[in-house]
A = this chain, B = another copy of it.
Amino acid sequence: MVIEFISVGTEILLGNITNTNARYLAEECAVLGLTNYYQVTVGDNESRLSAAIRTALDRSDIVILSGGLGPTEDDITRETVAKVLGREMKEVPEIHQQIQDYFERMGSRQPSSNNWRQAMVIDGAQIVENHNGTAPGMIVPVDDTKHIILMPGPPEELKMMFEESIAPFLAGLNHQVICSKTVKICGMGESRVADVVSDLIAAQTNPTIATYAKGGEVHLRITASGSDAKAARKSIKPIVKELKSRFGDKVYTTRESETLEQHVVGLLKRKKMTVATAESCTGGMVASTLINVPGASDVFNEGYITYSNEAKRKILGVKKKTLKNEGAVSEACAEEMAKGAAKAADARAAISVTGIAGPDGGTEEKPVGLVYIGCCIDDKVWVESYHMNGDRQKIREISVKKALDMLRRHLNHVEQD
């Protein structure tokens, strides 16, 4: 089945935003076994959008439109699809009520007249709930074989809706059953991972293996198709086993939805430990990444952002001598920070990060990108140093990943209580 994506939005044509939706949809639809030949971006303009929809319906079975469902006057996707299909728009009282409720929850502000347009639905469309915003999505059957799907443009709304509603719908249309499993690897670059599995990739037919670099991690996705789920899943198993044996403890999970931070929080919970954080260049990112996991309160009580030397001394007890002789970006400082954080928070585990994120502050001896990460568990401390590439934000993001991964590796050696 051929699927086409039309991204609607003048802000994409002006280059104000990167079209990350197209990539997300492409990746997800590939897993569902759908074929994508064309991705098109058009602005919020009726004649050009109509033409794009007509062309897409001619050559594809499913057309996903994203964007242009918002509350402003230039959001015309709903009305344009209705016109192309020669259908009426009708108001859905339930959505009207939802919009009312949404605005009441947000405070006293009244919805504007444009907000009510979001309650208008194309005749014959199945309404798809939006749990992250006010604009509902729609699945519009065009004829026996073709469908148009309308989704909101904001990526967090689109992703949630796709996962919850659109992916199951598409899987139902496509009778081939596709199963996939992801082996998530941390602490190894994409090209090295690719080298390790190059023989498997060269020989593959079904299942297939694909590598994806994702913010400091590499994911290996194994995809199998078959007439039923059981057969497809069975053919994946030996590949997962092989990958685990090749990558060892670099594999942190094979659970589809588990992130590194969720995995770490889970490990801490099982071992009944709490962790404290002491951050300099990451400035709270390690803590906030952990705290983004629901239920992190079981394993995290407090953390410290010690950006100045004075704060490192006062809060974490880093020695004046260490700061003077070795500097704040040093193995010794990372070690004392981790120990000090564990002590101050009365936690069995602690992680510390101190580094030079740039763009300034680098020297010949300690260049931008030099980061020390400390990990303290039950009074034992380890420190690792890294030389990272990229801008300030990227260096800080990779540091967070390395810190969580280091904690994970050391937690694996702690006996369960």
Contact = CB atoms under 8 A, between A and B. Distances in A.
Contacts of A221: 14, 16
A68 to B, nearest CB: 13
Contact of A105 (B11, B115, B277, B369): B369
A132 B359 CA distance: 13
A388 B102 CA distance: 10
A225 interface: no
Interface size class of A (residues with CB under 8 A): 35 or more
A19 B16 contact: no
A255 to B, nearest CB: 16
A388 B133 CA distance: 11
A156 B397 CA distance: 12
Interface string A16-31: 1111101111111110
A102 B40 CA distance: 36
B112 A191 contact: yes
Nearest to A153: B213
Interface in A187-242: 189-192, 194-195, 198, 201, 210-213, 221
Given A292-B396, A302-B315, A305-B303, A71 B18 contact: no
Given A291-B283, A302-B304, A27 B39 contact: no
Interface string A278-311: 0101111111101110111100111111111011
Interface in A17-58: 17-20, 22-30, 36-43, 45, 48, 52
Contacts of A303: 283-284, 304-305, 307
9 contacts: A13-B26, A13-B30, A13-B39, A14-B36, A38-B52, A160-B391, A277-B284, A304-B304, A305-B305
Contacts of A15: 23-30
A126 interface: no
A294 B314 CA distance: 24
Given A71-B191, A156-B394, A198-B73, A210 B360 contact: no
Nearest to A11: B212
Given A72-B190, A283-B291, 9 more contacts: A14-B27, A16-B210, A17-B212, A107-B387, A284-B287, A284-B303, A285-B288, A287-B305, A301-B311
A324 interface: no
A97 interface: no
Contacts of A30: 13-15
A38 B40 contact: yes
B28 A37 contact: no
Given A13-B36, A106-B389, A305 B292 contact: no
A358 interface: yes
A352 to B, nearest CB: 14
